[in-house]
Structure 1
Amino acid sequence: MTLRSYLAAAALMASSAAFAFHCPADMKKIDEALAKSPKLSAEQMSDVKKLRADGEALHKAGKHQESVDTLAKAMKVLEIK
């Protein structure tokens, strides 16, 4: 392998690791917001809980980008920045 290939592989692994640590932080933010009993409709609450659970499952499956994207949807409903 060339030096470029090694660098590209290292960058890919580093970005994957960054997303791996991002997921739990997002889940914690969602959990904290839910603990404050936000004013959401029953449908919104159901959606947020499902997105939160799906995000955790994706994280555990190693699909970190998908997890981050899913958790971002829940955070948008909860208006978490």
Structure 2
Amino acid sequence: MKRLIVIAILIFGFASPAMADHCRKDIRIIQAALQGQNNAKAEKLLTKGRKLHKAGKHDEAETALHQAMKMLGIKH
């Protein structure tokens, strides 16, 4: 049982930085797509995604960022 807990902690420890990096990548892609566009809904989702990312809520941030990407026609 202890071994399983240690493995779970290690997996989560390695996954969290990867998720954070994924958020930053999506943010850059959305920012580039918004250049020269006026899409208030996508901008709101981008702002929401940034705030959630900074708060460490990467799953929620990804959801918001992926919605913005879909709105902008960006395949993920």
Give me the TM-score of the superposition, normalised by structure 2.
0.90
Counterpart residue type for residue 25 of structure 1: K
* Matched letter for residue 29 of structure 1: I
Amino acid at match of 2:42: V
- The yes-or-no answer on 1:57 pairing with 2:51 is yes
The secondary structure found in structure 2 opposite 1:24 is: helix
**4+ residue runs over 6 A deviation:** none
CA distance in 1, matches of 2:14, 2:22: 12
Query: What runs of 5+ residues in structure 2 fail to find an aligned partner?
Result: none
Q: Distance in 2 between matches of 1:52 and 1:17?
A: 20
Corresponding residue for residue 71 of structure 1: 65
Instruction: Compute the RMSD of aligned alpha carbons.
Output: 1.4
The structure whose Rg is larger is 1
Q: TM-score normalised to the size of structure 1?
A: 0.85
Gaps of 5+ in 1: none
Amino acid at match of 2:72: L
Q: With CA pairs under 8 Å and 6+ residues apart, which has the higher RCO, 1 or 2? A: 1
Q: Does 1:30 align with 2:30?
A: yes
| Structure-2 residue corresponding to 1:21 | 21
Q: Does 1:6 align with 2:3?
A: no
